[in-house]
Amino acid sequence: MKYYVGIDLGGTNIVAGVVDEDYNIIAKASTKTNCPRPEKEIAADMARMAVEAVKNADLTMDQIEWIGVGTPGIANSETGIIEYSNNLGFKDTPMVKYIQEAINKPVFIENDANAAAYGEFVAGAAKGARNAVCITLGTGVGGGIIIDGKIYSGSNFAGAEIGHTVIEVDGAQCSCGRKGCFEAYSSATGLIRMTNEAIAEHPDSIMAKTADERGKVTARTSFDCMRAGDKYAKAVVDKYIKYLAAGITNTINIFQPDILCIGGGVCNEGDPLLLPMKELVAKEVYTRNSPKNTEIVIAKLGNDAGIIGAAFLGRANQ
């Protein structure tokens, strides 16, 4: 049995996992990222978590084939440098070098959304596909693209920024500097914004009362209140699904993947989200009359996708 270590570097947590050749995570270790702080300190903690995860798996580093890292930002998989990550405050950080100084093993690096997509491709919802796209609906909208079994990251390692394609010209402000981005409407943050706007317009709605009782608005508020019979909440949900379908249709029209998988907390809404979204996509996609269309599925691996995908980056780079 062969073993690999995958590290998911996030703005909040560093999680390392030992993964076997059958894609099973057999042990983990984690610590807080504690940004902002010196990049070398973060690298040292990543190496420490890798060692700790291996120890938790009752293995030794001699039994580990390689270490893979999924990181936010632009990760140059050829040089091992994180060229830029606004979330972590990194610029031209030689992360592979730092980790290899602590652990004498081959180290591979990739953008975290790409690593998660690769995880779904090798072991999750996109397993068996040749071409796949994974979209994560979280604080932002993350994207990962697999073409002919390979991670596509563009000529500058900044590809797959699906969330920063515009679906509403001169629309809502996006954190990237543009207006009307897919992310500004289809992320959990975008859904919360649209819910707050509806509450401001309809202060006597069930949504407003629910938000007041709970003390905050979340991505679940509009869906919960729609189920409670609030017509204004239903209007928010309908608008959210319309934008989500537009972004997904655009993505399918560009890449025509075998499978498009979507993940993130919003997907926990299940059929009330998926069924109307799929119906809209089926009507709008360019290949709507084709006998073979992209299959839209829910991601299977959750937070483990990034660890599993990172663990197999050595294979992706072969």
Report pTM.
0.90
Please, what are the domains in the chain?
A: 3-122+303-316 (3.30.420.40), 129-298 (3.30.420.40)
CA angle 119, 124, 126 (to 5 degrees): 90
The two three-digit tokens of residue 78, written as one number: 């050829």
Q: Measured on CA atoms in the order 246, 178, 143, 78, is the torsion positive or negative? A: positive
- HEC per residue, 161-182: CHHHCECCCCCCECCCCCECEH
Alpha-carbon distance of 158 to 12, in angstroms, equals 22
Residue-wise over 243-258: b if at least 16 C-beta within 10 A, else e? bbbbbbbbbbeebbbb
Tens place of pLDDT for every residue, the chain, 318 residues?
A: 999 999 999 888 999 999 999 999 999 999 999 888 999 999 999 999 999 999 999 999 999 999 999 999 999 999 999 999 887 889 999 999 999 999 999 999 999 999 999 999 999 999 999 999 999 998 889 999 999 999 999 999 999 999 999 999 999 999 889 999 999 999 999 999 999 999 999 999 999 999 999 999 999 999 999 999 999 999 999 999 999 999 999 999 999 999 999 998 899 898 999 999 999 999 999 998 888 899 999 999 998 999 999 999 998 776
